[in-house]
């Protein structure tokens, strides 16, 4: 395939000029010559939809390119590609649907929109004969969407383990390395711009869960229902948990786990997880992201980089714009999501199996361990190791911490056991528990 003898102009409409939108505009202009040489397309921003035209901005945009109505982008016959960067799932959904019906290619970084309504949107894209591209929706500047769609197209995906929320990774890193409390680490993340003023979507785990849904759907060929995804945030992780994890040879990460079992059932979950200190994922620090993909042919592959920020995310958006330009020049290949029939069923979260960390605050007296072990044994949950430290890290003198590492067991059985343990008279605080992920070093 050779490039056109003269560059073809591709006009785009940009909806949203916030942090990422400004990066797209800036970097398209800065690297225009390089992009044109590599793609044969001169990608130009013709019109930009913003909420407030008078708002001061760090980039210089001609006033005639700005509008407060995104419908102006759809109505312009010269605009061939719509870039949706307004966020949310209501107006963004309306915009994307209107663009597809107008036969305009869509580029979006909106993971919440795709996780919640991806099946509907890609069906519409197929019906309208125009694709949706969404590299920026997962892991910022890491090209993980392209990896799954193209680089690993010949592989059955065995599993994906991802640290895919930079805010939570920054908070947990600071707790681990600097000994900051959760609240102090969150405040520092906000002060440095790694966390929003309202960090709920990040710290609840749902930002990472939305990304995990997209990765799982690409890997296994069907859209994962949100109600079958297990999600826990980082709010309950304490310095005590980090201290015990370190004694046991682990650290704690907000980990998204995606995998299919031997029967083809797919589990998707995001939660704070003990990760072995010997594993490369344990060293992913600060706001960086990493995605570990295990394919049946390629084996394990690791993708690492900045998961957010103006330049990394705009890099992914521009990559999609170049793909859109190629489609306009050479013709489309697919809608952006290709369903395939190898899998098609989500695994109930209570049936998912892993090892577990369980921390209890108990009466410091004989017989307590036997009571706890009896509850676990009744549900055939084995104990692989136990710590009851003399130099207790948290509990006052009348009580003590009891930390158990549990063998592989279904989550449903473990939660039932924890509920029963919490009701024992010797238990003085709500039990703290996390999954322990077994990873190849």
pLDDT at 5: 59
Specify whether the CB–CB gap between 281 and 254 falls below 8 A.
no
Q: Which ranges of 69-195 would DSSP assign to H, the alpha helix?
A: 71-75, 91-101, 111-128, 144-146, 166-178, 182-191
Q: What is the pLDDT of residues 367-404, one digit of tens each?
A: 999 999 999 999 999 999 999 876 655 555 678 999 99
Task: Give me 333's structure tokens.
Answer: 């290949």
Same domain assignment for residues 267 and 149: yes
Element (H, E) at 247: helix 239-247
* Stronger pLDDT, 435 or 389, i.e. the higher one: 435
Active-site hit among 47, 104, 111, 211: 211
SS3 of residue 332 by DSSP: coil
Q: Which of 330, 362, 389 represents a domain boundary (last residue)?
A: 330
* Total domains, the chain: 3
Asked whether the whole model's pTM tops 0.85, one would answer yes
Q: What is the DSSP letter of 197?
A: S
Share of the chain above pLDDT 70, in %: 94
Same domain assignment for residues 297 and 195: yes
Same domain assignment for residues 21 and 120: yes
Share of the chain above pLDDT 90, in %: 82
Residue range 47-51: mean pLDDT, rounded:
95
Residue range 202-220: mean pLDDT, rounded:
95
Same domain assignment for residues 221 and 274: yes
Same domain assignment for residues 190 and 285: yes
Residue 40 belongs to a domain: yes
Residue range 165-177: mean pLDDT, rounded:
96
Same domain assignment for residues 226 and 162: yes
Based on the residue annotation, tell me whether 103 is a catalytic residue of this protein: no
Is 324's pLDDT higher than 90?
yes
Same domain assignment for residues 253 and 150: yes
Concatenate the DSSP letters of all residues of 377-421 into one string.
HHTT--EEEEE--SS-SS--TTEEEEEEEEEEEEHHHHHHHHHHH
Which residues contact residue 431 at a Cβ distance below 8 angstroms, ignoring those fewer than 6 apart? 358, 359, 360, 418, 421, 422
Same domain assignment for residues 148 and 202: yes
Average pLDDT, the chain: 92
Q: What is the pLDDT of residues 125-163, one digit of tens each?
A: 999 999 999 999 998 889 999 999 999 999 999 999 999
pLDDT at 228: 92
Please report, for the domain that includes residue 172, its CATH number.
3.30.360.10
Structural domain for 293, as ranges: 144-307
pLDDT at 263: 86
Same domain assignment for residues 157 and 55: no
Q: What is the pLDDT of residues 280-303, one digit of tens each?
A: 999 999 999 999 999 999 999 999
Residue range 310-323: mean pLDDT, rounded:
94
Please measure the distance between the N-terminal and C-terminal CA atoms of the chain and give it in whole angstroms: 42
Please report, for the domain that includes residue 378, its CATH number.
3.30.70.260
pLDDT at 194: 86
At residue 2 the predicted structure's pLDDT band, cuts being 50, 70 and 90, is: low
pLDDT at 4: 56
Q: What is the pLDDT of residues 263-281, one digit of tens each?
A: 889 999 999 999 999 999 9
Q: What is the pLDDT of residues 63-98, one digit of tens each?
A: 999 999 999 999 999 999 999 999 999 999 999 999
Residue 341 belongs to a domain: no
Residue 339 belongs to a domain: no
Q: What is the DSSP letter of 150?
A: I
Q: Which of 307, 340, 363 represents a domain boundary (last residue)?
A: 307
């Amino acid at each position: 395939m050779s490039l056109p003898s003269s560059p073809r102009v591709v006009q785009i409409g940009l909806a949203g000029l916030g942090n990422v939108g400004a990066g797209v505009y800036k970097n398209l202009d800065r690297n225009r010559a390089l992009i044109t040489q590599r793609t044969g397309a001169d990608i130009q921003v013709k019109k930009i939809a913003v909420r407030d035209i008078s708002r001061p901005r760090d980039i210089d945009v001609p006033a005639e390119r700005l509008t407060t109505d995104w419908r102006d982008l759809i109505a312009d016959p010269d605009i061939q590609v719509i870039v949706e960067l307004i966020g949310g799932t209501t107006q963004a959904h309306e915009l994307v649907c209107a663009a597809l019906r107008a036969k305009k290619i869509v580029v979006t970084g909106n993971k919440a929109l795709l996780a919640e309504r991806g099946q509907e949107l890609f069906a519409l894209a197929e019906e309208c004969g125009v694709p949706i591209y969404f590299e920026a929706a997962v892991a910022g500047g890491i090209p993980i969407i392209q990896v799954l769609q193209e680089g690993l197209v010949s592989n059955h995906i065995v599993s994906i383990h991802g640290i895919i929320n930079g805010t939570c990774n920054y908070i947990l890193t600071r707790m681990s390395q600097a000994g900051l409390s959760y609240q102090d680490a969150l405040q520092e993340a906000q002060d440095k711009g790694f966390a929003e003023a309202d960090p709920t979507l990040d710290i609840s785990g749902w930002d990472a869960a939305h990304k995990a849904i997209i990765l799982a759907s690409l890997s296994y060929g069907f859209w994962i229902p949100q109600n079958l995804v297990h999600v826990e945030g980082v709010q309950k992780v304490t310095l005590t948990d980090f201290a015990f994890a370190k004694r046991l040879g682990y650290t704690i990460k907000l980990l998204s786990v995606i995998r299919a079992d031997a029967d083809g059932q797919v589990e998707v979950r995001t939660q704070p997880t003990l990760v072995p200190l010997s594993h490369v994922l344990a060293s992913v620090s600060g706001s960086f992201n990493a995605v570990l993909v295990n394919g049946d042919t390629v084996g394990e592959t690791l993708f690492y980089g900045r998961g957010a920020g103006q330049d990394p995310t705009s890099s992914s958006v521009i990559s999609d714009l170049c793909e859109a330009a190629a489609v306009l020049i050479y013709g489309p290949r697919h809608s952006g999501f290709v369903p395939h029939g190898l899998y098609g069923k989500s695994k109930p979260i209570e049936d998912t199996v892993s090892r577990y960390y369980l921390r209890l605050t108990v009466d410091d007296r004989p017989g307590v361990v036997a009571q706890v072990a009896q509850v676990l044994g009744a549900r055939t949950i084995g104990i692989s190791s136990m710590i009851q430290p003399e130099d207790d890290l948290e509990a006052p003198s009348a009580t003590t911490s009891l930390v158990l590492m549990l063998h592989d067991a279904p989550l449903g059985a473990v939660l039932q056991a924890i509920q029963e343990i919490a009701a024992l008279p010797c238990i003085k605080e709500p039990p703290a528990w996390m999954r322990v992920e077994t990873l190849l070093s």
